[in-house]
């Protein structure tokens, strides 16, 4: 396959990536980012799995846990909003290493908390790191992928998040009876500290970022040489975006006229998806216990929900071949129907397990696909900001979902009513993605499309 060269003989970075097979070096990057998302999911969901133990050990009522459950979500939102523009300025790798160190240290400290206030503060700090880590891992993976496989590989990497959340449930069901709830947080803190060292030593900086920032060609070639030795044949590497976009900043890019409608709809979709995700991850164990399940059965059934993230790989394959907006919207539609069905299946354990798993597959497939959708929507100069701000604003949906269930329970809504209300968020996400698709088809849509 021949490179499409610029007039001066320089090679576009994306053309180089498209021209070569996915190398072992790129698989290493994929694996490290997958681990970051795995640990992110584990630490994010951990509070829901230890919640029943907290109510027993500390003698608190369930509504008192709402600030603790939502504290990390506030941190996640703030961390993402800050990390996106910072990453577009100083680099994806630096922000990723610092964020993994932060959430690892804070989660480790959380294992020694002695009260709800202290735990809430530490969960907020943990959330800052978690919120900064995820969009940078997504952006790095996306910027090292060939265009023909970008959505599939990015989605596959993002599967680490729901798998990490599911792993937290299975480990919590085993660890808490043996060593107590603190052991779950301790594991969730030490593992990221080890991962941060590996990331610092092995992970490369995004070459598209390096080129866009005017880094020396030798540094760019040193990274691309690990993908293929043919990098030495190039006189220089460029990005078509860098040549045409000027110095527009990330925030200005995603809020510009050509991107604003899509940006707003991505925010709304991610908001609604996380409202569903955190409402169920944080509260499903308690809701199912209220419906008559044992504590262990409630935990194990709830763990089936985040386990369903593997469908994102198939969705990514479909997104690379068909209209990505419609693929993701279909996932949200199935999620809305299956979440509604959970409330009507609580007294039939085999059926409940099936419905929760199907809901998890649909919900996590749709949610895991949104970062890839956003990464393909924005150009390099605004990609990290676009992905991070979608996640940051969307985190408010997680906060809303957690408080929504708490309020519905306080208002004496039954389990059918609670899951019915939560399911409405999926329908809203479907409408948002259809609006985004319609906006992209307008003549006044983006004046320049993102690089392939």
pLDDT tier at 283 (50, 70, 90 boundaries)? confident
Under 8 Å between Cβ of 108 and 122 = no
Give the pLDDT score at 248: 58
Averaged confidence pLDDT in the chain: 82
Under 8 Å between Cβ of 272 and 425 = yes
Given a cut of 60, is residue 360 above it in pLDDT?
A: yes
CA of residue 12 relative to chain centroid, distance: 28
pLDDT single digits (tens) 45-93: 787 778 777 777 777 776 777 788 778 878 888 888 888 888 878 888 8
pLDDT single digits (tens) 2-53: 444 444 567 877 788 888 888 898 999 999 999 999 998 888 878 777 877 7
Separation of alpha carbons 46 and 40, rounded Å? 10
**How much of the chain, in percent, has pLDDT values that exceed 70?**
92
pLDDT tier at 249 (50, 70, 90 boundaries)? low
Output phi, psi for 5, to 5 deg. -100, 150
- Options 1.10.10.60, 3.30.70.120, 1.20.1250.20, 1.10.3720.10; CATH of 11-440: 1.20.1250.20
Given a cut of 80, is residue 212 above it in pLDDT?
A: no
Mean pLDDT over 332-346 rounds to 89
Mean pLDDT over 264-274 rounds to 93
- Cβ contacts of 344 within 8 Å, gap of 6 or more: 416
- Cβ contacts of 210 within 8 Å, gap of 6 or more: 219, 220, 223
Q: Which of 61-75, 96-110, 285-299 has the highest mean pLDDT?
A: 96-110
Given a cut of 60, is residue 98 above it in pLDDT?
A: yes
pLDDT tier at 307 (50, 70, 90 boundaries)? low
pLDDT tier at 129 (50, 70, 90 boundaries)? very high
pLDDT single digits (tens) 159-202: 888 788 778 777 888 888 888 888 888 998 999 999 999 999 99
Given a cut of 50, is residue 398 above it in pLDDT?
A: yes
Given a cut of 50, is residue 341 above it in pLDDT?
A: yes
Separation of alpha carbons 338 and 357, rounded Å? 9
Give the pLDDT score at 451: 42
Given a cut of 90, is residue 432 above it in pLDDT?
A: yes
pLDDT tier at 446 (50, 70, 90 boundaries)? low
pLDDT tier at 415 (50, 70, 90 boundaries)? confident
């Amino acid at each position: 396959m021949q490179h499409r060269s610029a007039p001066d003989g320089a090679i576009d970075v994306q053309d180089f990536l498209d021209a070569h097979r996915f190398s072992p070096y790129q698989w290493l990057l994929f694996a490290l980012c997958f681990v970051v998302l795995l640990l992110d999911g584990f630490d994010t969901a951990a509070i829901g799995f230890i919640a029943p133990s907290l109510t027993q050990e500390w003698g608190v009522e369930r509504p008192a846990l709402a600030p603790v459950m939502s504290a990390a979500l506030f941190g996640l939102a703030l961390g993402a909003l800050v990390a996106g523009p910072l990453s577009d300025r100083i680099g994806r790798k630096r922000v990723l290493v610092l964020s993994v160190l932060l959430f690892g240290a804070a989660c480790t400290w959380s294992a020694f908390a002695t009260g709800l206030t202290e735990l809430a503060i530490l969960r907020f700090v943990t959330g800052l790191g978690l919120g900064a880590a995820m969009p940078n891992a997504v952006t790095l993976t996306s910027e090292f992928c060939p265009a023909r496989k970008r959505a599939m590989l990015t989605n596959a990497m993002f599967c680490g998040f729901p798998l990490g959340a599911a792993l937290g449930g299975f480990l919590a069901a085993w660890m808490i009876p043996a060593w107590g709830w603190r052991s779950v947080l301790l594991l969730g803190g030490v593992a990221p500290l080890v991962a941060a060292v590996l990331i610092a030593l092995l992970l490369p900086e995004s070459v598209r970022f390096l080129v866009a920032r005017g880094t020396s060609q030798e540094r760019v070639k040193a990274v691309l040489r690990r993908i293929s030795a043919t990098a030495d044949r190039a006189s220089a590497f460029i990005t078509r975006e860098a040549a045409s976009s000027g110095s527009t900043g990330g925030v200005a890019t995603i809020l510009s006229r050509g991107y604003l409608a899509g940006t707003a709809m991505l925010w709304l979709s991610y908001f609604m998806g996380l409202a569903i995700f955190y409402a169920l991850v944080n509260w499903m164990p308690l809701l199912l216990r209220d419906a008559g399940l044992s504590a262990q059965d409630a935990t194990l059934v709830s763990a089936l929900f985040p386990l369903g993230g593997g469908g994102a790989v198939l969705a990514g394959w479909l997104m690379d071949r068909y209209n990505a907006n419609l693929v993701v919207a279909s996932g949200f539609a199935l999620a809305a129907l299956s979440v509604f069905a959970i409330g009507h299946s609580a007294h039939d354990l085999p059926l409940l397990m099936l419905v929760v798993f199907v809901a998890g597959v649909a919900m996590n497939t749709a949610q895991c696909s949104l970062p890839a959708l956003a990464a393909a929507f924005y150009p390099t100069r605004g990609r990290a900001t676009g992905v991070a701000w979608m996640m940051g604003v969307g985190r408010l949906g997680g906060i809303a979902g957690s408080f929504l269930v708490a309020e519905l329970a306080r208002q004496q809504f039954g389990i059918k009513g609670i899951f019915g209300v939560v399911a409405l968020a999926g329908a809203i996400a479907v409408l948002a993605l259809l609006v985004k698709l319609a906006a992209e088809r307008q003549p006044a849509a983006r004046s320049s499309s993102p690089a392939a």
